[in-house]
Structure formats: structure tokens, C-alpha cells
């Protein structure tokens, strides 16, 4: 194809960031062995930070943001993919150091791609996106640590956000008693519709805590970090675990060794950006079976390409619940 539309982040000599919609050609794209016609993307918190410039996500300029994409292979020099294949991509520095998803055409390394699960549409895959895929990695980490539904309640922090919403939906379908922590208690109907059995105010966890608290949770998915994570760790039952994947409150962790050495608690770090392909495929296979697609629909909204910049601002300001699907070139 000739030119195509893309969102481009740039900055001048004064290091001030600009964001604009431009027409690009394939000559503007970076190296890769697979060229994709992008049909859908999504808006993650990291995308919001990149577009607003509120955190140093972008490390190369100019940059096309967007860390998630779904689309169809146009050209391939990679033996694992051929023209017409439906593919998805999450992470790998796309939208940070390699031009990303907010473009009608993308060129990437085939090693970063996986084939789209047959049971999911491209739009559904982006409704899940990195946030939902990270939630599934957290659930898998808890399962591998022996946190099963019979062990007791599990906590999800930042529950009305992207990771939290999908984590609540998955865990509830798997039979866990899910307690959702949120700063938006007005979202009670939304979160209970996803499967939360109870809600607690995030203020119960976000302040100064004690080295050890009452044992309340068999496990937790934490997307908040900082004092919240410290408090969650202090309340995990003996032998339980926390899957930590975010830093919405902060990247510090003001805790002690007490939960680890007195209760055998495990802190499981969950990264979604550089995870090997086999684990990605396993997570997406589980998403295709363990995520109620009706609940996925209830936690997503769809916007057009021209709405991406506003959606990025909204997600950083906490005005977005659940997930945002972007129609790029559907």
C-alpha cells in the first residue's frame, strides 16, 4: 500500500514532546521480517503514559506508540508466519523502542508474534490486550504457587482497572472467592457483575501498615505496588502468594521480611513484556477458555483511531474502567 495513517510521538531540541496524526509509508517503519495490516489495538495505562509524556516510556524518537496489536500478515520473511495469518503482539518494547500499534501498518520481528487463538476475534484479543494477558500470567503464577480456590479468598487490587477487571473475571470463573479493592466504590455493580464477591475501599490498604497483619487472603493479584503491596503481603495467609505486576501507587515497597520468614509468603514478580513465546501461547490458550466472553464485552468499550489520544489522557487521569478496544483498520 502507499501511505497510511499513524500516531507519531516526537520531540524537539528542547525535549518537549509532541503527538500528532501523520501519514507514513513503509519506508518510515523500522526493521522486521513480518509486515502486518493492523486491524485493532487497545489503550493500556502504559500507552497513556507514553502519549501524555507523564512517564519516560518512549525511548526513541520519532515513535509510533501502542504496545498491543492484532492484524493480518501482509508480507513475511519469517518461516513461522505467512501472508493472511491472523496474529497478535503484546510487548517486546513495541511502542517504546520499536514503532508500535497505532498505525494502519506495522513491521515487527516474527519472534514477537503469536497466532491469534481461533476462539477469539481480533477485537476480543485487544479487549484482553496486555492488561488481560498480564492478569492471566498472574493467575497462572498463583496456581503454580499452590493458591487454589479451597485455600480461601483472593484479593485483587486496582480492581476497576484493566488488569484488575480481567483478573476478577478469570478468578471468579475458576471458582475463587474474589475480593476487589478499588478507589471507585461507585463501580460496585460493575465489579460484582464481573464476579467479585466483595469490595473493599483501597484506603484500607494504601496507608501505613504493620509488618504483619491479620491473615485474610490466600493470594492476591496486585497492580498497585508501594504501601498497598506492603499491606497486602502482611495480610496473606501462611503459605500464600502475591502476584505483583504493577505500580499504580508507586514503585517503592516499604515492607519487611516478616511475611516471608514467618508465614512463608511468596512474592511473585510478573512481567509481560519479555516473556518467552511458549508462556505467551499458554496464557492466551487459557484466556480463550477461562475468560467469560460475555464478561469481557461488559468490561470493554470501543473507540476509533481518532479517539486514541483522548483515551490515553483519560486512562492516565483515572477516567477509564476496564478495557478500551481501538479500531485501527478493521
pLDDT confidence of residue 209? 86
Got the DSSP string for 102-171? SBSEEEE-GGGEEEPPTTS-HHHHHHHHHHHHHHHHHHHHHHHTT--GGG--EEESSTTSHHHHHHHHHH
Say how many Å lie between the first and final Cα of the chain, rounded.
Answer: 16
Q: Name residue, grid cell 468490561.
A: 299
For residue 56, pLDDT beyond 90: no
pLDDT confidence of residue 106? 98
Same domain, 87 and 136: no
Average pLDDT on 9-37 reads: 95
d(CA 161, CA 102): 21
d(CA 308, CA 219): 35
Give the domain extent around 237. 130-269
> Is residue 292, in this structure, part of any structural domain at all?
no
Same domain, 304 and 263: no
CA 305 to chain centroid: 20
Provide the 8-state DSSP code for 101: S
> Is residue 257, in this structure, part of any structural domain at all?
yes
Give the count of domains, the chain: 2
Same domain, 136 and 262: yes
* pLDDT tier for residue 202 given thresholds of 50, 70 and 90: very high
pLDDT confidence of residue 328? 96
Q: Which three cell numbers stand for residue 182?
A: 478499588
For residue 290, pLDDT beyond 90: yes
| Contact by Cβ (8 Å): 88, 114 | yes
Same domain, 111 and 177: no
Got the DSSP string for 44-93? -HHHHHHHHTSS----SSSB---SEEEEEEEEE-STT--TT-EEEEE-TT
Average pLDDT for the chain = 95
CATH code assigned at 103: 3.90.180.10
Same domain, 188 and 262: yes
Same domain, 110 and 140: no
pLDDT digits (tens, 9 = 90+) for 134-180: 999 999 999 999 999 999 999 999 999 889 999 999 999 999 999 99
| Contact by Cβ (8 Å): 98, 34 | no
For residue 300, give the H/E element and its range.
Answer: strand 300-304
CATH code assigned at 258: 3.40.50.720
What share of the chain in percent tops pLDDT 90? 91
Where is average pLDDT lowest: 11-15, 221-225, 238-242, 261-265?
11-15
d(CA 210, CA 199): 22
pLDDT confidence of residue 15? 86
* pLDDT tier for residue 235 given thresholds of 50, 70 and 90: very high
d(CA 126, CA 160): 17
CA count, 13 A, side-chain hemisphere, 75: 9
d(CA 162, CA 308): 16
* pLDDT tier for residue 252 given thresholds of 50, 70 and 90: very high
pLDDT digits (tens, 9 = 90+) for 70-127: 999 999 999 999 999 999 999 999 999 999 999 999 999 999 999 999 999 999 999 9
For residue 330, pLDDT beyond 80: no
Same domain, 106 and 143: no
d(CA 329, CA 283): 26
> Is residue 124, in this structure, part of any structural domain at all?
no
Instruction: Show the CA angle centred on residue 98, arms to residues 84 and 269, nearest 5°.
Output: 100
pLDDT confidence of residue 274? 93
Average pLDDT on 262-271 reads: 98
Instruction: Show the CA angle centred on residue 229, arms to residues 227 and 234, nearest 5°.
Output: 95
pLDDT confidence of residue 179? 98
Q: Which three cell numbers stand for residue 46?
A: 502504559
Domain-ending residue, one of 249, 269, 289:
269
pLDDT confidence of residue 294? 94
d(CA 53, CA 213): 38
* pLDDT tier for residue 1 given thresholds of 50, 70 and 90: low
* Angle in degrees, 0-180, between the axes of helices 162-173 and 277-290, rounded to the nearest 10: 60
CA count, 13 A, side-chain hemisphere, 290: 22
Amino acid at each position: 500500500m502507499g501511505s497510511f495513517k499513524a500516531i507519531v510521538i516526537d520531540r524537539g531540541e528542547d525535549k518537549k514532546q509532541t503527538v500528532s496524526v501523520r501519514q507514513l509509508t513503509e519506508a518510515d517503519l523500522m526493521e522486521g521480517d513480518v509486515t502486518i495490516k493492523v486491524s485493532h489495538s487497545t489503550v493500556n495505562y502504559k500507552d497513556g503514559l507514553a502519549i501524555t509524556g507523564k512517564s519516560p516510556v518512549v525511548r526513541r524518537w520519532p515513535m509510533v506508540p501502542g504496545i498491543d496489536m492484532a492484524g493480518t500478515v501482509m508480507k513475511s520473511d519469517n518461516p513461522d508466519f505467512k501472508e493472511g495469518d491472523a496474529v497478535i503482539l503484546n510487548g517486546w518494547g513495541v511502542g517504546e523502542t520499536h514503532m508500535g500499534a497505532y498505525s494502519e501498518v506495522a513491521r515487527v520481528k516474527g519472534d514477537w508474534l503469536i497466532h491469534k487463538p481461533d476462539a477469539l476475534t481480533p477485537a476480543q484479543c485487544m479487549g484482553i490486550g496486555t492488561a488481560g494477558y498480564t492478569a492471566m500470567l498472574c493467575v497462572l503464577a498463583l496456581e503454580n504457587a499452590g493458591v487454589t480456590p479451597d485455600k480461601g479468598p483472593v484479593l485483587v487490587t486496582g480492581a476497576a482497572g484493566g488488569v484488575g477487571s480481567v483478573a476478577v473475571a478469570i478468578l471468579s470463573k475458576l471458582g475463587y472467592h474474589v475480593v476487589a479493592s478499588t478507589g471507585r466504590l461507585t463501580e460496585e455493580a460493575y465489579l460484582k457483575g464481573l464476579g467479585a464477591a466483595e469490595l473493599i475501599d483501597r484506603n484500607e490498604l494504601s496507608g501505613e501498615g504493620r509488618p504483619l497483619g491479620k491473615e485474610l487472603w490466600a493470594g492476591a493479584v496486585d497492580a498497585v505496588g508501594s504501601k498497598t503491596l506492603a499491606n497486602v503481603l502482611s495480610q496473606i495467609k501462611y503459605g500464600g502468594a502475591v502476584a505483583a505486576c504493577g505500580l499504580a501507587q508507586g514503585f517503592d515497597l516499604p515492607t519487611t521480611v516478616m511475611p516471608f520468614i514467618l508465614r512463608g509468603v511468596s512474592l511473585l514478580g510478573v512481567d509481560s513484556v519479555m516473556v518467552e513465546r511458549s508462556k505467551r501461547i499458554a496464557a492466551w490458550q487459557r484466556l480463550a477458555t477461562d475468560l467469560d466472553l460475555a464478561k469481557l464485552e461488559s468490561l470493554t468499550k470501543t473507540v476509533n483511531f481518532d479517539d486514541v489520544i483522548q483515551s490515553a489522557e483519560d486512562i492516565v487521569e483515572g477516567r477509564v474502567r476496564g478495557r478500551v478496544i481501538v479500531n485501527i483498520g478493521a
